[in-house]
Structure 1
Amino acid sequence: MPGAIMIEVEHGIEGEGQDRREVQVAQTLTVHHGALAYLLGINALRASEAAAVRIEDYAETLRGHRVLHLVGKGNKPATMPITVPVLRVLEACRGQRTTGALVLRPISGNPIDRRDAYRMVARIAKVAGIPRHISPHSLRHAAITNALDAGVPLRDAQILARHADPRTTEHYDRARGNLDRHGVHFLTAYVAGV
């Protein structure tokens, strides 16, 4: 559903016995809220990166993929694919515009900044009935964690997050304590020829 994104809300103490429930966070308040939620929660952009996205930044197609060009942390350029569901949300946000900032302040129509991204995410959380503080980084964190939970290899999740050090990405891996996915099972199956 365009404009909707799932994140995990965790309850419990520091990873012990956490109950997880997926909640729908961003039912489109405006197309701008939806686009911001997708940039943060699917493409794992940082708040400042999402606020800086311009329509021209995702106009190119490379090797059959629509791509988003951005300048990330440390002024590092990055290129990432945009999936069809994300593209639909971005295009709805763009409307008839062909240039300029993608995500605009809902009332004034001016480009958002990092502070606006925080306010918009807080509004999404409030409407969704999430009782705890949700920030743009919460959505980024959810994107990285959900990618790892979905079985995306650590190296690919690191590329998604644009982390320089894989140890940073490892902190998002909740499955490290999962005995069902422990490497010993895979090694035993490999050695046994199963």
Structure 2
Amino acid sequence: MNELTPLPLPSLILSPALALPALIAAADDATRLRFLEFFAVTIRNPHTRRAYARAAGEFLAWVAARGVMSLAGVQPLHVAAWIEALGREVAAPSVKQQLAAVKHLFDWLVTGQVVPVNPASSVRGPAYSVRRGKTPVLDAQEARRLLDSIDVTTDAGLRDRALIALMVYSFARIGAALACRVEDVFMQNRRLWVRLHEKGGKRHEMPCHHNLEEYLTAYIDGCELREDRKGPLFRTIARGTKRLSDTPLPQANAFAMVRRRAAAAGIGTAIGNHSFRATGITTYLKNGGTLETAATMANHSSTRTTQLYDRRPDDVTLDEVERVLI
């Protein structure tokens, strides 16, 4: 058999996060290539790619440690036993995600004629039903205090206020906010608009709340970004200069910033990047907004998803608890 011609695979495929599991490394060239193609060809979202790669690697290492010598030797009982063991260590949503990764991987291997059947196709994951989201949220006063507490005499302060406001007022996901370029903030009908690039390649445009318009304008003008239209909107701070660099702000850095700003504002809630999306939606609904319009603003395909961000029932619960007059 002729050796396969090396392909210019994406750098992520060659990273340690996608090191070949032993069962794949011991297989033939066609199997190894098919395995790598699953992550490079079928998955566009980098976060999903990393999560699926981790799940596939852990599963294949688990079965190899139990004497399975090849992919063809993986049976439904192996998958079921792995899911049972996994359920004792991680939450049900994580188990379901990892099972989905293994199912999709073996579907790909079956269509590539690497294995005859998918051993995971008949395995059921744990039951899990969600009616209320788990993301910590702020009330309107806390969100206002956080925004007002940021020192905007520096580039970092202007950036952080604009980023948090974008997530609060436009219900933007952190990934969509950090993917914005300067040109994604634009004038239309005498109002400032923002263009968000959401999951699944969806492009979503929103008019800016007057506070968000003020904060974005102050940030773009104050940091002299207006002429760099193709550059990232939110950037890291260059070491030693306290000025913006040309490097996009990583999501982990944004999370650390949010925690740092919240602590400085005296907010005890352990919020994260996603908290502002839930905060904005809940505040909108408390002030007379409709669930259908909130779903449109958040770019949700179903109002059932939007309901997970609606924390209005929390107020009722707190009021009722206080009736226990002991």
For normalisation by structure 2, the TM-score amounts to 0.45
How far did residue 177 of structure 1 move? 8.4
Q: Which amino acid aligns with 2:179?
A: A
Counterpart residue number, 2:23: none
Which of these residues, 191, 197, 213, is aligned with residue 87 of structure 1? Answer: 213
| Structure number with larger C-alpha Rg | 2
Task: Give the fraction of aligned pairs with identical amino acids, expressed as a percent.
Answer: 29
Counterpart residue number, 1:8: none
Q: Which amino acid aligns with 2:258?
A: V
* CA distance in 2 between partners of 1:21 and 1:43 (Å): 15
What RMSD in Å do the two structures reach over aligned CA positions? 2.3
* CA distance in 2 between partners of 1:176 and 1:143 (Å): 15
Which of these residues, 97, 102, 105, is aligned with residue 225 of structure 2? Answer: 97
Residues 33-84 of structure 1: per-residue CA shift (max 9 Å, x gap): 10111011111111111111221101231x4432111210111111110123
Contact in 1 for aligned 2:182/2:233 (Cα 8 Å): yes
**Matches for 1:21-170 after TM superposition, within 5 Å:** 22-23=141-142, 24-26=145-147, 27-29=149-151, 30-61=157-188, 63-95=189-221, 96-98=224-226, 99=228, 100-108=231-239, 109=244, 110-170=247-307
SS of 2:289's equivalent in the other structure is: coil
Residues 133-153 of structure 1: per-residue CA shift (max 9 Å, x gap): 110101111001111111101
CA gap 1:21/1:49 in 2 versus in 1, 3 angstroms: closer
Q: Relative contact order, CA 8 A, sep 6+: which one is greater?
A: 1
CA gap 1:21/1:82 in 2 versus in 1, 3 angstroms: closer
How far did residue 129 of structure 1 move? 1.4
SS of 1:97's equivalent in the other structure is: coil
Contact in 2 for aligned 1:54/1:101 (Cα 8 Å): yes
Q: Which amino acid aligns with 1:87?
A: E
CA gap 1:133/1:66 in 2 versus in 1, 3 angstroms: same
Counterpart residue number, 1:190: none
* CA distance in 2 between partners of 1:122 and 1:57 (Å): 26
**Unpaired runs of 5+ in structure 2?**
1-132, 134-138, 152-156, 317-326
Aligned residues: 160
* CA distance in 1 between partners of 2:263 and 2:313 (Å): 32
* CA distance in 2 between partners of 1:21 and 1:146 (Å): 6
**Unpaired runs of 5+ in structure 1?**
1-13, 15-19, 180-194
* CA distance in 2 between partners of 1:67 and 1:21 (Å): 23
SS of 1:94's equivalent in the other structure is: helix
* CA distance in 2 between partners of 1:125 and 1:107 (Å): 23
CA gap 1:124/1:177 in 2 versus in 1, 3 angstroms: closer
